[in-house]
């Protein structure tokens, strides 16, 4: 049974990965069994310079998920390369580095710096973080998204992914733009811009006021977006958005994704990636499938519900 997935020049041994910022370095030592089933690891997004992130509170639970407004807290790319890349590399799992630039030039500088770092298999351009206080994201503008991807593509020699925002009218339009810009694949979707209010104090529950909604509440919308994008682009999709179970993951694969990323589920069920991976394998055995590619985009749209 072949569960490997090829995106760009990278071969990922499993269709299951993790969403950026949800799988810390500590997990490598604490959960070797979980690490062994991952197709890749994606650390917290890295910026050119250190960031302290947003003021607390940063996390708020919701009825079917959670709000976060971390604000891309990270030590900057130099510390990341020196201290953290060696730890990720020792895991033996392919490493996708999520990066965020505040300007085109910062994205280019990050790509240049990470280009020759041993152990970095791919870059994920975070064009879509919803809680940095910006009025407009690169992933909300097809021309800007295409331009940034194109500039990074001229520099970075390995696999290049673009992470898209769901806070748009038509996400497939942005997917087409980054494909034209030279992306090898798209990651989708990032969190939905949302907020919560403490009615007793009449104040926002998040220190940043606005945060990103993730978890099961967003899954049906994310699934629809993946299906729409898959119909318009030829490059692979790494899908995420409230994936809690193997059945959830299978929905995204059948809708058109090549890989799935688990995020919020890990805060509730730390073994989620393992049960999802095993569930996908069991489904493939049950349906006599010998290659994960047979699942991707296999939705039968006619005769719905039969």
What CA–CA distances, in Å, run from 71 to 55, 83, 131, 206, 208? 9, 21, 6, 12, 9
Backbone angles phi, psi at 185, to 5 degrees: -170, 170
Q: Is 272 helix (H, G, I), strand (E, B) or coil?
A: helix
What DSSP string describes 207-233? TTS-EEEESGGGHHHHHHHHHHHHTT-
Instruction: Please state the φ and ψ torsions of residue 111, each to the nearest 5 degrees.
Output: -65, -40
CA 274 – CA 282 distance, rounded (Å): 12
Instruction: Give catalytic status of residue 129 as yes or no.
Output: yes
Residues 6+ apart with CB under 8 A from 170: 228
How many whole angstroms separate alpha carbon 16 and alpha carbon 292?
A: 11
Q: Quick one: CA torsion of 207, 25, 6, 266, rounded to 10 degrees? A: -60
Tokens of 234: 């030829």
Q: Of residues 7, 93, 129, 175, which has the active-site annotation?
A: 129
Token output for 214: 């993730």
Sign of CA dihedral 120, 124, 129, 135: positive
CB 171 within 8 A of CB 228: yes
Which residues are catalytically annotated? Answer: 129
């Amino acid at each position: 049974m072949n569960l490997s997935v090829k995106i760009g020049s990278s071969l990922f041994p499993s269709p299951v990965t993790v969403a950026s910022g949800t799988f810390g370095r500590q997990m490598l030592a604490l959960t070797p069994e979980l690490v062994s089933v991952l197709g890749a690891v994606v650390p917290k997004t890295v910026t050119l310079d250190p960031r302290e992130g947003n003021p607390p509170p940063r996390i708020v639970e919701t009825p079917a998920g959670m709000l976060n407004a971390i604000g891309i807290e990270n030590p900057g790319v130099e510390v990341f390369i020196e201290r953290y890349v060696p730890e990720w590399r020792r895991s033996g799992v392919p490493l996708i580095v999520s990066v965020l630039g505040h300007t085109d030039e910062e994205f280019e500088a990050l790509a240049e710096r990470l280009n020759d770092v041993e152990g970095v298999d791919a870059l994920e351009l975070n064009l879509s973080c919803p809680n940095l206080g910006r009025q407009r994201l690169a992933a909300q503008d097809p021309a800007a998204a295409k331009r940034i991807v194109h500039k990074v593509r001229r520099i970075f020699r390995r696999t290049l992914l673009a992470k898209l925002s769901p806070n748009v009218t038509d996400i497939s339009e942005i997917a087409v733009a980054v494909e034209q810009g030279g992306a090898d694949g798209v990651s989708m979707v990032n969190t939905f811009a949302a907020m919560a209010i403490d009615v007793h104090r009449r104040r926002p529950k998040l220190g940043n006021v606005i945060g990103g909604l993730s978890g099961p509440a967003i899954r049906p919308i994310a699934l629809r977006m993946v299906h729409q994008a898959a119909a318009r682009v030829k490059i692979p999709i790494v899908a995420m958005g409230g994936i809690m179970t193997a059945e959830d993951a299978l929905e995204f694969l059948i809708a058109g994704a090549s890989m799935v990323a688990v995020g919020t589920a890990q805060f509730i069920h730390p073994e989620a990636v393992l049960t999802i991976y095993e569930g996908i394998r069991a489904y493939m055995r049950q349906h006599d499938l010998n290659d994960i590619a047979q699942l991707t985009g296999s939705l039968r749209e006619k005769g719905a519900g039969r």
